[in-house]
A and B are shown apart, each in its own frame.
Chain A
Amino acid sequence: MSTNAQKSDEIFEFVTFFSGGQSFSIDISQVREIRRWGPFTPVPHATVGVLGVMNLRGSVIPIYDLAARLGLASTAENPRNVIVVVIHGDQTLGLLVESVSEIMSISSNAIQTTPDMRNDAGPQAISGLINTEAGMTQIIDLDIIIRNKGSAPA
């Protein structure tokens, strides 16, 4: 996404959703479908934010609690929660979020780089910021979300 963002005045579509009380977004080309909350199977020795695996038409896909992966409070169990099924590289995975809000079209030059908040040299899970009418939405870098499944969240 960051490479895409370098091209100016191109229009991108983002799916935005709420998780942990904040707004996040993902490039629509990465979103495969949005599913109702369903039962999943816990995985042993899983790290924080990995809820387990579920059956997506015969494929086994892992479900990540987005808020917990980002270091926010874990998403409370609620039948209104939804799972955003995303494709990252050749992997398919589900992100548990509170709700999906909208699909918005954004010119690439409206995407701001994430300001340095901390003296953190490590990779950041947010690859960019978009100013919206309702405030701000943060573009998620899936790479960071699914990295280090065995250790603390990035």
Chain B
Amino acid sequence: MSTMNSIRDTFFEECEDLLAALSDGFAAMQSSTHDSETVNAVFRAVHSIKGGAGAFHLADLVSFAHRFETVLDELRASRLELTPDLMFVLLRSADHLTVLVEAARDEVEIEAAITESFLASLDACLGETDSDTKDSGENFSFSAVQLDIIGFDADDSVNHANRFTITFAPTSTLFANGHDPAFLFEALSDLGNLAVEMDLSELPEWENFDPSVPFMKWSLLLETNQDEAAIRGVFEFVDGLCALTVTALLEDAAPILEEPSASMENASLPDGEHAVKTSAPPLEEAGGPKKSAAPSDQHGPKPTLRVDLDRVDRLINAVGELIINQAMISQRVGEMALSTDSDVVNYVEDYRLLARDIQEAVMAIRAQPVKPLFQRMSRIVREAADATGKKAQMISFGEEIEVDKTVIERLADPLTHMIRNAVDHGLEDVDTRIAAGKDPSGTIRLSAAHRSGRVIISIKDDGAGLNRQKILGIAKTKGLVPQDIDLPDAEIDALLFLPGFSTASKISNLSGRGVGLDVVRTAVMALGGRVAIMSTPGLGTEFTISLPLTLAVMDGMVVSVGNQTMVAPIASILETMRPAKEELHMGPNGQYLSVRGKFVPIVDVADSLGFPTKHSENESPLLLLVENENQSQCALIVDEVHDQRQVVIKGLEHNYATVSGVSAATVLGNGQIALILDLDAIAFQRGFTAEPMTETATTAPGA
């Protein structure tokens, strides 16, 4: 059972790759940069999914992939022209194929009606005559087909049909290994028209009959447009288990099949004006991948290795320990106050560099390009546009940017939500856009980029921008802000992230399912990321997600807070300062710092963590100036700043719980645990723009 499950897992992993290839191919076809190999690749992808799905008896998937493949086959054979309408259907069908694969993987049912509607639009592409393709695949009976004789091309493959005689005599090992000649013949019949004759001449007398010795032989006659290699391919798995001869008959040999004319004409399609589809699609599709498999392997992607994630994680953990160990040794050696030219000091420095190299290499194993994620999003845009009746397209940039696998996996849901939001709330409907003098089709721009050790993912629409009056109004109605308040734009935008906020005036199918942007924000924050909004009326809204490159290490500033050694993520710190007395001002809600003409609130870190504070208001505090993604600044009081170093992030959630104000922990050089501060939460948890503070460690893990 477990073996079957792992094969099944492999199938779905491969499906992901195949769907990505499909998506790539369609992208090329959309931008008209494709060649015939692109169409072939797309066809192969669908065909492989169908093949794999068949092995797991995923009937829905098989039947849909089959029809999809039929259309692609027509396209491949240039019997269909790639019109924008066809492209539309193909893209939608690819989306639905993805849905079906996911449904099969998660073992959920997809409503038959949905699949039916996709099938119908695929059928529509093939023209009306193909309604009988529905029962192909299940049976191989040929239905009557009108042939367009005028369009009959003398060069058609019917004239190239090769005829082979095959003799096949299985040994007892073939049966012992669980092979069945019937399946082989079935596979052969996929290649073309097959006539089978059994030779019972060696059937012994009853008294000499040994049931374990096979006495049957078959002679077969196959008409196909495949070559001998394809036929031998069918017998690949019984190689050495049977006596096999394949002999090609001369072209002008008379057809030997009993009813050659009708079936042969069915089997190969005339290249006519009217693309006539017969019920014998297996003919070409079974041969296609076999012929083209070899070349595609050669210019395929770089060789890769599928490794169990657990193994990688074990390696990463070990490297984490190595980094800690290296820090401990460095610290001890540093305490020995050796002269800088001593061997030990140099070795320790080499060790540090090596350890860092190893760590970067190991982290790279987990890093994956955001491309598959982005491809999924383009599908979401199409679905969302269909559901809302808007027109939308997605362009993506920076698909090659690599992020930790976990980040990618956990980003899928928030990103999906934001993309849907962008289409549903961000973009205007077609009429409004035309009235505003815009392109009727809205554009969602999804991009990824590296910026100062973080990955920035931006979702930008060219819609109407945020309606700030409305947002503020809703926030007031819902009691999220005081009634008489007037807020700067950035803070109004930030209201969207408050729990229980939803701007949708009507509950649409897409967003407005009671899940708001606060869920997005929580998910992103759980990854050590932040979300920000920028909006320009009339021009659109941009959401920016900033994420750490890896979840395993980060650069931190080691500080003292309330007698504890803690680590502040350097990424959020703008500067450290000890301001002069004149720069500090008392306000009703606490102290303010004036930084270059701007007043910034001051927060005592020890105080907000519930630790005893050392800071007295008479002396000038040591401050870390931090900024969140909305450009709000805050100054945090710490007792001391020690140094900067790379720290290995250790989660607190697994063995304990989430702690507000603390994002994780790390192990210092002396073996002690230091908590990593969540500066964003500490700095901005006060005031209403602030984070919904997670209730203090109430979530017991496993409870």
Provide a sorted-by-A list of 7 A–B residue pairs whose CB atoms are within 8 angstroms. A39-B672, A41-B672, A55-B673, A58-B324, A62-B656, A143-B703, A151-B698
**A37-65 vs B: 1/0 string, CB under 8 Å?**
00111111111000011110111111000
Task: Give every chain A residue within 8 A of B324 (Cβ-Cβ).
Answer: 58
Please report which residues of chain B, range 675-697, place their CB below 8 angstroms from some CB of chain A when the two chains form the complex. 675, 695-697
A145 to chain B, nearest CB (A): 10
Beyond A58-B320, A89-B702, whether A150 also contacts B696 by CB under 8 A is yes
Contact A53 B665 (CB under 8 A): yes
Q: Is B317 an interface residue (CB 8 A)?
A: yes
Beyond A42-B564, A44-B662, A61-B655, whether A91 also contacts B673 by CB under 8 A is no
B661 to chain A, nearest CB (A): 6
CA distance A40 to B565 in the complex (A): 12
Stretch of B105-113, B175-183, B214-222, B646-654 at the chain-chain interface: B646-654
B687 to chain A, nearest CB (A): 19
Task: Give every chain A residue within 8 A of B611 (Cβ-Cβ).
Answer: 42, 44
- Looking at chain B's contact residues, the main secondary structure is loop
Q: Which 8 A-B pairs have the closest CB atoms?
A: A44-B609, A150-B698, A45-B696, A62-B656, A41-B673, A150-B697, A60-B650, A60-B665
Contact A43 B662 (CB under 8 A): yes
**B637-666 vs A: 1/0 string, CB under 8 Å?**
000000000000011101111011110010
A40 to chain B, nearest CB (A): 7
CA distance A89 to B702 in the complex (A): 8
Nearest B residue to A61 by beta-carbon distance?
Answer: B655
A148 to chain B, nearest CB (A): 6
Apart from A44-B659, A54-B673, A60-B665, 16 more pairs, CB < 8 Å: A41-B672, A42-B564, A44-B611, A44-B660, A44-B661, A44-B675, A45-B609, A45-B610, A45-B660, A47-B697, A60-B650, A90-B654, A93-B656, A148-B698, A149-B697, A150-B699
Task: Give every chain B residue within 8 A of A89 (Cβ-Cβ).
Answer: 702
Task: Give every chain B residue within 8 A of A61 (Cβ-Cβ).
Answer: 655-656
CA distance A148 to B702 in the complex (A): 11
Q: Is B671 an interface residue (CB 8 A)?
A: yes
Q: Is B667 an interface residue (CB 8 A)?
A: yes
Interface residues on A, range: 20 to 34
Contact A45 B661 (CB under 8 A): yes
Q: Is B674 an interface residue (CB 8 A)?
A: yes
Task: Give every chain A residue within 8 A of B695 (Cβ-Cβ).
Answer: 150
Q: Is A92 an interface residue (CB 8 A)?
A: yes
Contact B672 A92 (CB under 8 A): no
CA distance A33 to B654 in the complex (A): 19
**A67-105 vs B: 1/0 string, CB under 8 Å?**
000000000000000000000111111000000000000
Task: Give every chain B residue within 8 A of A44 (Cβ-Cβ).
Answer: 609-611, 659-662, 675
CA distance A62 to B657 in the complex (A): 9
Interface residues on B, range: 35 or more
- Option from B564, B655, B675, B700 in Cβ contact (under 8 Å) with A59: B655
Task: Give every chain A residue within 8 A of B473 (Cβ-Cβ).
Answer: none
Q: Is B701 an interface residue (CB 8 A)?
A: yes
Q: Is B9 an interface residue (CB 8 A)?
A: no
**B530-544 vs A: 1/0 string, CB under 8 Å?**
000000000000000
Contact A60 B651 (CB under 8 A): yes
Contact A40 B654 (CB under 8 A): no
- Option from A43, A55, A147 in Cβ contact (under 8 Å) with B672: A55
Q: Is A146 an interface residue (CB 8 A)?
A: yes
Q: Is B17 an interface residue (CB 8 A)?
A: no
Contact B671 A55 (CB under 8 A): yes
Q: Is B321 an interface residue (CB 8 A)?
A: yes
A37 to chain B, nearest CB (A): 14
- Option from B317, B654, B671, B698 in Cβ contact (under 8 Å) with A91: B654
Task: Give every chain A residue within 8 A of B672 (Cβ-Cβ).
Answer: 39, 41, 55
Interface hub of A42, A52, A60, A146 (most chain B Cβ within 10 A): A60
Task: Give every chain A residue within 8 A of B652 (Cβ-Cβ).
Answer: 43, 53, 60
A60 to chain B, nearest CB (A): 5
CA distance A43 to B700 in the complex (A): 15
Contact A149 B671 (CB under 8 A): no
Interface hub of B651, B656, B702 (most chain A Cβ within 10 A): B656
CA distance A59 to B667 in the complex (A): 9
Task: Give every chain B residue within 8 A of A39 (Cβ-Cβ).
Answer: 672
Nearest B residue to A148 by beta-carbon distance?
Answer: B700
Beyond A41-B564, A45-B696, A150-B696, whether A91 also contacts B610 by CB under 8 A is no
Nearest A residue to B671 by beta-carbon distance?
Answer: A55
A150 to chain B, nearest CB (A): 4
Nearest A residue to B566 by beta-carbon distance?
Answer: A41
Beyond A45-B660, A150-B695, whether A40 also contacts B609 by CB under 8 A is no
Contact B698 A149 (CB under 8 A): yes
B25 to chain A, nearest CB (A): 42
CA distance A41 to B700 in the complex (A): 19
Contact B659 A58 (CB under 8 A): no
CA distance A55 to B652 in the complex (A): 11
CA distance A122 to B609 in the complex (A): 31
Nearest A residue to B563 by beta-carbon distance?
Answer: A42
Interface hub of A45, A54, A92 (most chain B Cβ within 10 A): A45
Contact A149 B700 (CB under 8 A): yes
Beyond A42-B611, A44-B609, whether A147 also contacts B667 by CB under 8 A is no
Task: Give every chain B residue within 8 A of A90 (Cβ-Cβ).
Answer: 654, 702
B455 to chain A, nearest CB (A): 26
Beyond A41-B672, A53-B673, A55-B672, whether A91 also contacts B657 by CB under 8 A is no
Task: Give every chain B residue within 8 A of A42 (Cβ-Cβ).
Answer: 564, 611
Contact A147 B675 (CB under 8 A): no
CA distance A57 to B320 in the complex (A): 11
B570 to chain A, nearest CB (A): 21
Nearest B residue to A63 by beta-carbon distance?
Answer: B656
CA distance A92 to B697 in the complex (A): 17
CA distance A59 to B655 in the complex (A): 9
Task: Give every chain B residue within 8 A of A40 (Cβ-Cβ).
Answer: 673
Task: Give every chain B residue within 8 A of A47 (Cβ-Cβ).
Answer: 697
Task: Give every chain B residue within 8 A of A91 (Cβ-Cβ).
Answer: 654-655, 701-702
CA distance A47 to B673 in the complex (A): 19
B656 to chain A, nearest CB (A): 4
Task: Give every chain A residue within 8 A of B320 (Cβ-Cβ).
Answer: 58
Task: Give every chain A residue within 8 A of B661 (Cβ-Cβ).
Answer: 44-45
